[in-house]
Amino acid sequence: MGKEISLHNQTFSLYLDEQKIRERIIELARNINEDYQGKSPIILCILNGSFIFTADLVRHLDFPLTIEFVRYSSYEGTSTTGRITKIMGLKSDIEGKDVLIVEDIIDTGLTLSNAIKDLLKSNPASLKVASLLLKPSALIHDIHCNYIGFRIPDKFVIGYGLDYDELGRDLPEIYQLKDQA
Name the residues annotated as catalytic. Answer: 107
Nearer to ligand IMP, 107 or 173 (CB): 107
Residue 56's contacts (CB-CB under 8 Å, 6 or more residues apart) are 21, 22, 25
Nearer to ligand IMP, 13 or 74 (CB): 74
CB of 34 to ligand IMP, least distance (A): 26
Helix (H, G, I), strand (E, B) or coil at 93: coil
Q: Are strands 147-151 and 174-177 parallel, antiparallel or unpaired?
A: unpaired
**Residue 150, beta-bridge partner list:** 133
- Angular region, 77: left φ>0, alpha ψ -120 to 50, beta rest: left
**Are the beta carbons of 2 and 154 closer than 8 angstroms?**
no
CB of 104 to ligand IMP, least distance (A): 5
Nearer to ligand IMP, 14 or 35 (CB): 14
CB of 63 to ligand IMP, least distance (A): 26
DSSP secondary structure string, 2-37? Answer: --EEEETTEEEEEEE-HHHHHHHHHHHHHHHHHHTT
Chain residues binding ligand IMP by CB under 6 A are: 49, 74, 104-112, 156-158, 162
Nearer to ligand IMP, 30 or 83 (CB): 83
CB of 102 to ligand IMP, least distance (A): 11
CB of 112 to ligand IMP, least distance (A): 6
Nearer to ligand IMP, 54 or 111 (CB): 111
Q: Counting beta carbons within 10 angstroms of the beta carbon of residue 148, is it exposed (0 to 12), middle (13 to 18) or buried (19 or more)?
A: middle
Q: What does the alpha-carbon distance between residue 109 and residue 12 come to, in Å, rounded to a whole number?
A: 24
Residue 159 C-beta-side C-alpha neighbours within 13 Å: 21
